[in-house]
Chain A
Amino acid sequence: AQSVTQLDSHVSVSEGTPVLLRCNYSSSYSPSLFWYVQHPNKGLQLLLKYTSAATLVKGINGFEAEFKKSETSFHLTKPSAHMSDAAEYFCVVSTSEGYQKVTFGTGTKLQVIP
Chain B
Amino acid sequence: KAGVTQTPRYLIKTRGQQVTLSCSPISGHRSVSWYQQTPGQGLQFLFEYFSETQRNKGNFPGRFSGRQFSNSRSEMNVSTLELGDSALYLCASSPGTSGIETQYFGPGTRLLVL
Contacts and interface: CB of A to CB of B under 8 A. Distances in A.
Contacts of A107: 42-43
A106 B37 CA distance: 10
B27 interface: no
Chain B at the A interface: SS class: strand
Given A102-B45, A105-B42, A107-B42, A49 B105 contact: no
A90 B106 contact: no
Contacts of B4: 43
B43 A100 contact: no
B47 to A, nearest CB: 12
Contacts of B99: 32, 94, 100
B100 interface: yes
A42 B98 CA distance: 23
B100 A92 contact: yes
Contact of B101 (A49, A96, A105, A106): A49
A34 B101 CA distance: 8
Q: How large is the interface on B (under 10, 10 to 19, 20 to 34, 35 or more residues)?
A: 10 to 19
Contact of A106 (B42, B45, B56): B42
| Residue with the highest number of chain A CB atoms closer than 10 Å, among B55, B100, B104, B105 | B100
Contacts of A106: 42
Contacts of B101: 32, 34, 46, 49, 51
Interface residues of A, number: 21
B65 interface: no
Nearest to B56: A99
A70 interface: no
A34 B98 CA distance: 15
Nearest to A39: B107
A41 B100 contact: no
B25 interface: no
22 contacts: A32-B99, A32-B101, A34-B100, A41-B108, A43-B90, A43-B92, A43-B104, A43-B108, A44-B90, A44-B105, A45-B105, A46-B101, A90-B43, A94-B99, A94-B100, A96-B98, A99-B55, A100-B56, A100-B100, A102-B100, A104-B42, A106-B42
